[in-house]
Amino acid sequence: MFKYFEPNKIFAITSKAPKYVLFLFIIVLTIGLTEALILSPEDYKQSDAVRIMYVHVPAAWISLGIFTSLAFLSVGSFVFKNKNFALIAKSLAPSGFIFNIIALVTGSIWGKPTWGTWWAWDARITSMLILALFYGMYLLAWRIYEDKEQVIKVTSLIAILGVVNVPIIKFSVDWWNTLHQPASINILSTNTAIHPSMLVPLGIMTAAFALFSLLIFLMKYNTELIKVKNKGLDRL
Amino acid sequence: MINEIISMNGYGAYVWSAFSFTLISFTALYFVTKLQLSKEQKRFASKFGSLNVEKARAARSQNINREILSNTSNI
- Res. A195: pLDDT tops 80: yes
Distance from CA of B47 to the nearest CA of A (A): 7
Which of B24, B29, B73 should be substituted to probe chain A, the one whose Cβ sees the most A Cβ atoms within 10 Å?
Answer: B29
Q: In the prediction, which pLDDT does B60 show?
A: 76
A contacts of B65 (beta carbons < 8 Å)? 229
Domain locations in chain A? Answer: 55-200+215-235
Looking only at Cα atoms, what is the longest distance across chain B?
70
- Residue A4 pLDDT > 70: no
Segment B6-53, tens digit of pLDDT: 889 999 999 999 999 999 999 999 999 999 999 999 998 888 878 788
Chain A residues 48-67 with CB within 8 Å of chain B: 48-49, 51-52, 55-56, 59
Q: Rounded to two decimals, what is the model's pTM?
A: 0.91
Q: What pLDDT was estimated at residue B12?
A: 94
Q: Is the Cβ–Cβ distance between A201 and A67 less than 8 Å?
A: no
The mean pLDDT of chain A is 90
Picking from B24, B75, B23, B36, the residue whose alpha carbon sits closest to that of residue A91 is B36
Q: Give the tens place of pLDDT for each residue, A142-167.
A: 999 988 889 999 999 999 999 999 99
State residue A213's pLDDT score. Answer: 97
pLDDT greater than 50 at residue B75: no
- What is chain A's alpha carbon radius of gyration, rounded to the nearest angstrom? 19
CA-CA distance, B55 to A227, in Å (whole number)? 18
Rounded to whole angstroms, how far apart are CA atoms A211 and A29? 9
pLDDT of residue A20: 97
b/e for A117-140, b at 16 or more Cβ within 10 A?
eeebebbbbbbbeebbebbebbbe
The interface predicted TM-score (ipTM) is 0.91
Eight-class DSSP state of A80: S
Question: Any residues with CB less than 8 A from the CB of A188 and at least 6 apart, and which?
Answer: none
Q: Nearest-CA distance from B3 to chain A in Å?
A: 12
DSSP A19-80: HHHHHHHHHHHHHHHHIIIIISPPBTTTBGGGGGHHHHHHHHHHHHHHHHHHHHHHHHHHHS
Q: Are A42 and A195 in contact (CB under 8 A)?
A: no
Asked if the Cβ–Cβ distance from B29 to A37 is below 8 Å, we say: no
Q: What are the boundaries of each domain within chain B?
A: 2-72
